[in-house]
Amino acid sequence: MKTRNLTDHFGLEVQGVDLAAPISDDQFAEIATAFDTRSLLLFRGQILTPAQQVAFGERWGVLEHHLLTQFTLPAHPEVFVLTNKNEDGKPVGAHKTGWHWHIDNTYMPRASLGSQLYAREIPPEGGDTLFTSLTTAYDRLPDDLKARIENLEAVHSYKYVYANKYPDRPPLTAEQLARVPDRVHPVVRVHPATGRKVLYVSEQIIKQFVGMSVEESQTLLDELNAYATRDDLIYRHRWRVGDLMFWDNRATMHFAQPYDDVNHVRLMHATRVVTDVFTGEAVADEAAA
């Protein structure tokens, strides 16, 4: 396996691995180490069926069945479709989603270890994804700010995001709402594999910090987010068809960029590993929910 750094501080392109083929235990261990230490793995030129993408994802744990079931593949409920495509006048995937800085699934009971995103159709321009390292972001915080947030907790709220960021979508059903009660996470977490501290902020998902008003919280969140998304921290990924990006939701945040969705199509298949992010414990009940 050959590799190439995507930036100095995180991200790695992995070459010479065919994800459609079974991966040996030795190769898996090598990829897992790269994932833990570099946070963002890019595999280019992959030709994958949904079943093969699911098989790769399942090497890492149980895969999520997304609560927006209208956007998952009927034969593969683990695959969440992101696209502007319509069939019979109906959208076949989620669109304009993730167009803010966020960590996937922090609002779910066990958040997510990592996400795999596979590019099937790509517009000629636009639609890039920005990534940032929340471990490097933490390391670069000024000491007084580190002290301020050391014991702070944040409320991650899907209901809040959904109502504020996706006003065009139908309201969540009672059953969907029951799956996403607000979640509280520490703002500073320790990555279980590396022992490094992580600035666990997610601009899109955090409603407020515990003990602070929504307005006060927004000021602090803006300040932390500004540190986390400085230009010199960011990796911008220009997608090619056949790219599979696998990112660590314990250590990165990402932001999908808009594109010309009137004249061009973008089609991505996402799978997310459901694991207790900070104990590494995989759980089966999430996927069954």
Q: Are 66 and 38 in contact (CB under 8 A)?
A: no
Q: Is 20 left (phi over 0), alpha (psi -120 to 50) or beta?
A: alpha
Residue with tokens 């065009």: 168
Q: For residue 83, what are the β-bridge partners?
A: 267
**With CB under 5 A as the contact rule, which of the stretches 90-98, 174-182, 185-193, 244-252 interacts with Fe ion?**
90-98
Q: Are 191 and 168 in contact (CB under 8 A)?
A: no
203 binds Fe ion (CB under 5 A): no
By beta-carbon proximity to Fe ion, the closer residue of 23 and 130 is: 130
**With CB under 5 A as the contact rule, which of the stretches 10-18, 96-104, 145-153, 157-165 interacts with Fe ion?**
96-104
Quote the least distance from Cβ 16 to Fe ion, whole Å: 28
By beta-carbon proximity to Fe ion, the closer residue of 98 and 127 is: 98
Helices and strands, number each (H, E), in the chain: 8, 19
98 binds Fe ion (CB under 5 A): yes
Nearest residue to the partner Fe ion, using Cβ: 98
Q: Considering only CA atoms, which of 30, 36, 38, 33 is closest in space to residue 10?
A: 38
114 binds Fe ion (CB under 5 A): no
By beta-carbon proximity to Fe ion, the closer residue of 149 and 248 is: 248
Quote the least distance from Cβ 112 to Fe ion, whole Å: 9
By beta-carbon proximity to Fe ion, the closer residue of 104 and 248 is: 104
Quote the least distance from Cβ 118 to Fe ion, whole Å: 14
Q: Are 48 and 231 in contact (CB under 8 A)?
A: no
57 binds Fe ion (CB under 5 A): no
Quote the least distance from Cβ 127 to Fe ion, whole Å: 13
Residue with tokens 């932390």: 224
Beta strands in 47-113 (DSSP E): 62-63, 72-73, 76-83, 86-87, 90-91
User: What are the CA-CA distances from residue 125 to residues 120, 129, 260, 261 (Å)?
Assistant: 15, 12, 8, 11
**With CB under 5 A as the contact rule, which of the stretches 91-99, 121-129, 140-148, 212-220 interacts with Fe ion?**
91-99
Size of the site for Fe ion (CB under 5 A): 2
127 binds Fe ion (CB under 5 A): no
Residues that bind Fe ion (CB under 5 A): 98, 104
